[in-house]
Chain A
Amino acid sequence: GAVVSQHPSRVICKSGTSVKIECRSLDFQATTMFWYRQFPKKSLMLMATSNEGSKATYEQGVEKDKFLINHASLTLSTLTVTSAHPEDSSFYICSAMTSDQPQHFGDGTRLSIL
C-alpha cells in the first residue's frame, strides 16, 4: 500500500536552532500534503495544507514565519521550525494524498527543544 516516510523520527536540539523535517511519499505522487502537530495525549491539530508548487495554507493561529513549509515536488514536503524554543517541542506528523486516495500518514517526528 501507499507509504509515507518521515525523517527524522526523533530530533533533539538546542533552543534557537532551526530544524527541518522531511515528508516523502514513496510510491505515489502526492498532490497535497498536510502537517499536523500532536500534543501529549491530545488529538492531531492541523497546522497547514501544502499543495505542490504553491504556498502552503496555514490554519488560524499557526505562525507561517515560524513553521516554514516547502512542497517542491510531488513526493517531498518539508517543515522547518525556525528559531525553535522549548514550547515548540511536540510530535509532528505529516500526511500525503492524491485525488483517489485518502490521507496516508508518516510515522511522525518527535521534536525536543532543550
Chain B
Amino acid sequence: AQSVTQLDSQVPVFEEAPVELRCNYSSSVSVYLFWYVQYPNQGLQLLLKYLSGSTLVESINGFEAEFNKSQTSFHLRKPSVHISDTAEYFCAVTLTYSSASKIIFGSGTRLSIRP
C-alpha cells in the first residue's frame, strides 16, 4: 500500500522568506507525485507533478519540488514567498496516470505568511 506523510501541519514564515514543505512517501512500486494547493473554501488546484524525467519540477508561480528516490521524498520549496501563497498544500501520490488510479493524499500543510 502507498502512503504519504507531511510532517509539518503548519508552517509560518515571513513574507519574502524561503520555505520548504516536506513530503515523504512510501511505496513498493513506482509512483507519480503531485503537489496540490487549496485556497480557503475552494477545491484543489494542481501545483506541480512528477511523472518521469528530470527530478526537479517547477510551477509557474515560483514553487519547485525535487523527487528524491533514495530518500522517498518530494519536498516543495519556494525561495521567496508572498502573502498570496497562504494556503493549504497537499502532497499526493498515485500508482498510475490513468482513470483507474486513486490519489493518496497527505494530511496537508498550512502555509501562513506573515507580513
Interface residues of A (CB under 8 A from B): 4, 6, 31-32, 34, 41-44, 46, 49, 51, 93, 95, 97-99, 102-108, 110
- Majority secondary structure, A binding face: strand
Q: Are B41 and A105 in contact (CB under 8 A)?
A: no
Q: Answer whether residue B95 sits at the interface, using C-beta atoms and an 8 A cutoff.
A: no
Q: Does B87 contact A (CB under 8 A)?
A: no
* A32/B100 contact (C-beta < 8 A), A102-B49, A108-B42 known: yes
Distance in Å: Cβ of A96 to nearest Cβ of chain B: 10
Tell me which of B15-23, B62-70, B103-111 binds A: B103-111
Residues of chain A contacted by B100 (CB below 8 angstroms): 32
Of residues 52 to 77 in B, which have CB atoms within 8 Å of A's CB atoms? Answer: none
B46 close to A (CB within 8 Å): yes
For A46, the chain B residues whose CB sits under 8 A away are 102-103
A93 to B44, CA, bound (A): 9
Q: What are the residues of chain A within 8 A of B103 when measuring CB–CB?
A: 34, 46, 103
B interface residue count range (under 10 / 10 to 19 / 20 to 34 / 35 or more):
20 to 34
Give B contacts to A, CB under 8 Å: 34, 36, 41-46, 49, 90, 94, 97-100, 102-103, 105-108, 110
Quick one: which of B41, B46, B49, B108 contacts A110, CB cutoff 8 A?
B41
A49 to B94: give the CA distance in the assembly, Å.
Answer: 14
Name 14 extra pairs, CB < 8 A, besides A43-B105, A106-B43.
Answer: A4-B43, A32-B99, A32-B100, A34-B102, A43-B90, A44-B44, A44-B105, A46-B103, A49-B102, A51-B99, A93-B43, A95-B43, A98-B99, A102-B34
The reply to whether A99 and B42 form a contact with Cβ atoms under 8 Å apart is no
User: Which B-chain residue is minimally distant from A4 (CB atoms)?
Assistant: B43
> A67 → chain B, closest Cβ, in Å?
17
**Which A residue sits closest to B90, measured CB to CB?**
A43
- Report chain B residues within 8 Å CB of A102: 34, 46, 49, 94, 97
Instruction: List 18 contacting pairs A-B, 8 Å CB cutoff, sorted by A.
Output: A4-B43, A32-B99, A34-B102, A41-B110, A43-B105, A46-B102, A46-B103, A49-B102, A51-B99, A93-B43, A95-B43, A105-B43, A105-B45, A107-B42, A107-B43, A108-B41, A108-B42, A110-B41
